[in-house]
Amino acid sequence: MQYTGFVWLIFSSLFVTLRGEFSAQDEETLGLNYTTLWELLKFQTNPYLQDLQGHWSFNDTIDISKYEEFDHTRFQGSPELSLDELVQKVKQLQRSNKRRPEPPRTTQPPEELLVFDTSMTTNVTAQLGGTAFLHCRVRNLKNRAISWVRKRDWHILTSAMFTYTNDERFQVLHNEGSEEWVLQIKYVQNRDSGAYECQVASSRGTQSQLYNLEVVVPTADIIGTGEIHIGHGSDLTLVCVIENSPSPPQFVMWYHNDNMINYEEEETQMRVTTESGGEKTHSKLVISRASSKHSGNYSCRASNTRPDSVYVFVSNDHSILDTKLKSLSFSNNSILWFQSLVSSEYSFIARSTGF
């Protein structure tokens, strides 16, 4: 225990002395501190100090009885330390370390900003039963993933190339190396209308672009009233207009009493012509020399389109005249008044002309 106190006293005095050998400028320039001096003392002066550090720290205030096993005799007869030589060696080592070039610092390049292509169509219209495509293009994506989210329930539909819904109508389309990620929705239903988000998570937070999907239902409309009357042997022309169709229907079908008309038969009296222009499609059904067998219900239908129908009556001339007269709202008194008016006008004309 006597050597323990002696060693502590020596090193305390040594550091106080060394502290006085350096000016404030030296400390700032050389960056000297107690740790540096301790390392230099340990490796440059007395090799026995290496063993001492493993047993004792200058700042320890704990019970030193645990250091009883330290061999103090190893310090007996050791050469005395020259403070002047030690100070000069410390300064020399510090200057050599200062002249040594510092290794280049590796800095992380700043994260490139995500750029959403705003030229992409964000208001998408799809026909009921058709296929909708939502196109999202992002630059500087790197290895980050794009997610498609349905806003009405915040359901993540896809992320990267993975699908997170049991609805197999949803799928993401992407080509390797491309900046474009497309959400495909097959067999579009009315419930698919609404907002969708193309999202990317980054260190700056979540960035997104909003899309709106509108599902339209095409309608068929047969021009004219709900009932059509024609005489036997007359030609019948029915015109059907299909509207609100982003893409023209592939086929327009006509039905007679819920039976599809096969107008390609050689002996048929019917023919159909269909023309498409813009969002409207016109289909015309022509029946030559109509007879009573052509009476009945006619409907115009197309895929995923609300149909329309009309009823056709084919009869002889007398029955048509009787039907039209019955449809007039004239009373008997009105008819008699009309007949008397015509008779009086005829008598006036006859007297004036001398007939």
- Separation between Cα atoms, residue 42 and residue 55, nearest integer Å: 13
> End-to-end CA distance of the chain, in Å?
165
In the prediction, which pLDDT does 41 show?
52
- Separation between Cα atoms, residue 254 and residue 301, nearest integer Å: 6
Element (H, E) at 310: strand 308-315
Exposed (0-12), middle (13-18) or buried (19+): which is 64, by Cβ within 10 Å?
middle
Instruction: Give DSSP secondary structure letters for 317-352.
Output: HHHHHHHHHHHS---HHHHHHHHHHHHHHHHHHHHH
DSSP state, 120? S
Are the C-beta atoms of 113 and 138 separated by less than 8 Å? no
Which pair of structure tokens corresponds to residue 75?
A: 């310090």
What CATH superfamily is the domain 219-315?
Answer: Immunoglobulins (2.60.40.10)
Give the pairing type, strands 123-127 and 205-216. parallel
Which among 41, 44, 43, 32 is positioned nearest to 14, based on CA atoms? 41
How does pLDDT run along the chain (355 residues), one tens digit per residue? 444 444 444 555 555 444 554 444 444 444 445 555 555 555 455 555 455 555 555 455 556 555 556 565 665 555 655 667 777 777 787 777 766 666 666 554 556 788 999 999 999 999 999 999 999 999 988 889 999 999 999 999 999 999 999 999 999 999 998 999 999 999 999 999 999 999 998 888 899 999 999 999 999 999 987 899 999 999 999 999 999 888 888 889 999 999 998 876 655 788 899 998 877 999 999 999 999 999 999 999 998 899 999 999 998 764 544 444 444 444 444 444 344 444 444 343 344 444 4
Domain map (residue ranges) of the chain: 2-99, 115-216, 219-315, 320-349
In the prediction, which pLDDT does 74 show?
60
C-alpha distances in angstroms, 275 versus 129, 242, 253, 281? Answer: 22, 10, 13, 6
70-99: per-residue pLDDT in tens? 565 665 555 655 667 777 777 787 777 766
Half-sphere exposure of 174 (CA within 13 A, CB side): 22
Other Cβ atoms closer than 10 A to 95: 12
Category of 224 on φ-ψ map: left (φ > 0), alpha (ψ -120 to 50) or beta: left
Topology at the third CATH level for domain 115-216: Immunoglobulin-like (2.60.40)
Instruction: Give DSSP secondary structure letters for 226-254.
Output: SEEEEETT--EEEEEEEES-SS--S-EEE
- Amino acid at residue number 106: T
Exposed (0-12), middle (13-18) or buried (19+): which is 181, by Cβ within 10 Å?
buried
Same fold flag, 115-216 and 219-315: yes
Range list of β-strands (E), 109-145: 115-116, 123-127, 132-139
In the prediction, which pLDDT does 209 show?
95
DSSP state, 76? T
Which residues, 6+ apart, have CB-to-CB distance to 19 below 8 Å? none
In the prediction, which pLDDT does 331 show?
43
Dihedral of alpha carbons 59, 64, 68, 74, sign? positive
Instruction: Give DSSP secondary structure letters for 267-280.
Output: T-SEEEEEEEETTE
